Chains A and B, each alone.
Chain A
Amino acid sequence: MGEQILKIRHLSKAFGTNIVLKDIDFTVSKGDVTAIIGASGSGKSTLLRCINLLETPTGGEILYHGKNILDHKTNQPQYRSHVGMVFQSFNLFNNMTVLENCVIGQMKVLKKNREDAVKNAMKYLERVGMAPYIKARPRQISGGQKQRVAIARALAMEPEVLLFDEPTSALDPEMVGEVLDVMQNLAKDGMTMLVVTHEMGFAREVSNQVVFMSDGIILEEGTPEEVIGNPRHQETKDFLSRFRNVPNVQ
């Protein structure tokens, strides 16, 4: 694999006395597609939110190209613009059109002029198949379309890593496919991605690294064949058995 982008070391997070992440260690290299799986409440979202500093970790280090972003000198907004995030609930800006959603960050954060920002936004909106909808507002499009716009919005910032927190969990079943397709294409093009998902088919077919979380720790990690195909821990087996009858994507 390519150069290391993110190295998580001994990361921990507590909300008051509730310890949610304990001693998390793993590495993301360029082009990696890492699937994070695990039961609800095991800390998957918290891990992603710590990685782009939406939550402040209580211990450990997050090295971004070797630099610890948890020290006080880090320019947080600037760091976040390199680490995109796609949320379960889309979080598109309700006061803007589809196009504006993808333009505003480029202009305000990356200080691009409007023309370049629009051109770039269109490039990514076309890529996710949402170019015809640039004039629509979030409330006027479907869940799957919203999520594709959210992906285009994140891509338009040209991040090095893209974090996905259960991107298809809020979607009606018939819309899951269109979003997974977009993500699979991104992976094929070499995008570095960290994906919290319950889509075992996607984890198996698309990712090259699977992390199984349980109660705030990483219980197992490895290739999809290792973790999903041949889990070592009973807990992983139990978790996966609940997905037995879910067919693979495509």
Chain B
Amino acid sequence: MGIFQQLISDIGKLLSRYGGAYLNGILNTLLLALSATLIGCLIGFLCGILQTIPYQKNDPFLKRFFLKLIRAIIRIYVEVFRGTPMVLQAVFIYYGLPYFTNSAIRFTSVWAASLLVVSINTGAYMAESVRGGIISIDPGQTEGAKAIGMTHFQTMLHVILPQALRNIMPQIGNNYIINVKDTSVMFIISFTEFFAVHRAAVGATYLYFPSATVEMIGYLCMTLLASFLLRLMEKKMDGKSSYELINQDQLVMTAGTYNYPAGQNVERR
């Protein structure tokens, strides 16, 4: 029997016994990575927005004090969670909470604990990305918005954040892909994600290489799908690469409505 036929038959054996488990692992990994990335992005945006609230020397003392305090707290949060391994953070939080509260507070599900750890970890990375995304937007955009009377909040919401979000889409994608892979360390608090299935399967069958092959293919599928969807979203955010010229007769009919009939297509770089 050829070596590849051997591999295929081994994988077949694995899948017939553990197929459901692998699938369940993939599902858990995907769900955890996706929801943690989303929550992490929310945390990141919140931190990024709070950090970039401007203040001036002649603002009231309390306002300056609070803004500085917020910046300091976020700084510490970012440094601590970026600067320590996630596997340790998981242990620290999962076992630390009952330890300190004399078991009064403990996690009832490893799901909740894993989601918390991965989310705040992602949040720490995203906080920096969002801050960078915000300060990289041309100050002229803010001035244009202020000049027509928008408040700081409106300027952020309608002008700056959409552009910052577009610019950090690649980083969000990175974070998601890192999360798909790095959630594997959650085995430490016995979360059964995709990699945990591998450990269980080879423990019983000793089919190390075939199982690793299944895992490799599984992880690649999850990340490639993500890359593809991300590209699609980026394209959508960029809008059409060409626009339609609207000619005047049509304007008379349609001014005030939103479905301007298609005119001539103009292509421009």
B58 x A56 contact (CB < 8 A): yes
Instruction: List A residues 157-203 near B (Cβ within 8 Å).
Output: 157
Contact of A77 among B58, B143, B151 (CB under 8 A): B151
Q: How long is the Cα–Cα vector from A115 to B143 in the complex, in angstroms?
A: 26
26 contacts between A and B (CB under 8 A): A54-B146, A56-B56, A80-B146, A81-B149, A82-B149, A84-B147, A87-B140, A87-B143, A90-B140, A93-B144, A95-B162, A104-B158, A108-B150, A109-B148, A109-B150, A118-B258, A119-B256, A122-B256, A132-B247, A134-B246, A135-B246, A135-B260, A140-B243, A141-B268, A150-B144, A153-B148
CB-based nearest B residue for A119: B256
Contact status of A93 and B149, CB under 8 A, knowing A108-B154, A135-B244:
no
A91 x B58 contact (CB < 8 A): no
B144 x A87 contact (CB < 8 A): yes
Contact status of A118 and B56, CB under 8 A, knowing A81-B148, A84-B147, A157-B149:
no
A84 x B148 contact (CB < 8 A): yes
CB-based nearest B residue for A142: B268
Instruction: List B residues 236-269 near A (Cβ within 8 Å).
Output: 239, 242-248, 251, 255-256, 258, 260, 263, 266, 268
User: Which B positions have Cβ atoms within 8 angstroms of A?
Assistant: 56, 58, 138, 140-141, 143-151, 154, 158-159, 162-163, 166, 239, 242-248, 251, 255-256, 258, 260, 263, 266, 268
Contact of A95 among B166, B247, B268 (CB under 8 A): B166
Contact status of A80 and B246, CB under 8 A, knowing A54-B143, A94-B141, A95-B159:
no
- Kindly provide the distance from the CB of B256 to the nearest chain A CB, expressed in whole angstroms: 5
A80 x B147 contact (CB < 8 A): yes
CB-based nearest A residue for B158: A104
Instruction: List A residues 28-62 near B (Cβ within 8 Å).
Output: 52, 54, 56
Q: How long is the Cα–Cα vector from A95 to B58 in the complex, in angstroms?
A: 33
Number of interface residues of A (CB under 8 A): 43
Q: How long is the Cα–Cα vector from A79 to B150 in the complex, in angstroms?
A: 10
Chain A residues with CB under 8 A of B143: 54, 85, 87, 91
Q: Please give me the 5 A-B residue pairs with the lowest Cβ-Cβ distance, nearest first.
A: A81-B149, A91-B144, A105-B148, A85-B147, A91-B140
Query: Which of B140, B141, B147, B163: most chain A Cβ within 10 A?
Result: B147
A122 x B148 contact (CB < 8 A): no
User: Which A positions have Cβ atoms within 8 angstroms of B?
Assistant: 52, 54, 56, 77-82, 84-85, 87, 89-95, 97, 104-105, 108-110, 115, 118-119, 122, 126, 131-137, 140-141, 150, 153-154, 157
Chain A residues with CB under 8 A of B268: 136, 140-141
Q: How long is the Cα–Cα vector from A105 to B158 in the complex, in angstroms?
A: 10
Query: Which secondary structure dominates chain B's binding surface?
Result: mixed
Q: How long is the Cα–Cα vector from A135 to B246 in the complex, in angstroms?
A: 8
Query: Which of A80, A93, A95, A118: most chain B Cβ within 10 A?
Result: A95
Q: How long is the Cα–Cα vector from A80 to B239 in the complex, in angstroms?
A: 30
- Kindly provide the distance from the CB of B251 to the nearest chain A CB, expressed in whole angstroms: 6
A105 x B150 contact (CB < 8 A): yes
Chain A residues with CB under 8 A of B163: 94-95
Q: How long is the Cα–Cα vector from A113 to B103 in the complex, in angstroms?
A: 56
- Kindly provide the distance from the CB of B77 to the nearest chain A CB, expressed in whole angstroms: 29
Chain A residues with CB under 8 A of B141: 91, 93-94
A77 x B146 contact (CB < 8 A): yes
Contact status of A136 and B256, CB under 8 A, knowing A80-B149, A157-B148:
no
- Kindly provide the distance from the CB of B4 to the nearest chain A CB, expressed in whole angstroms: 51
Contact of B248 among A77, A81, A84, A131 (CB under 8 A): A131
A54 x B147 contact (CB < 8 A): yes
B239 x A137 contact (CB < 8 A): yes
Chain B residues with CB under 8 A of A77: 146, 149-151
Chain B residues with CB under 8 A of A115: 256
Chain B residues with CB under 8 A of A78: 149
A119 x B255 contact (CB < 8 A): yes
Q: How long is the Cα–Cα vector from A246 to B64 in the complex, in angstroms?
A: 51
A122 x B147 contact (CB < 8 A): no
A109 x B149 contact (CB < 8 A): yes
Contact status of A154 and B149, CB under 8 A, knowing A54-B143, A118-B256:
no
Chain B residues with CB under 8 A of A89: 140
A109 x B140 contact (CB < 8 A): no
- Kindly provide the distance from the CB of B148 to the nearest chain A CB, expressed in whole angstroms: 4
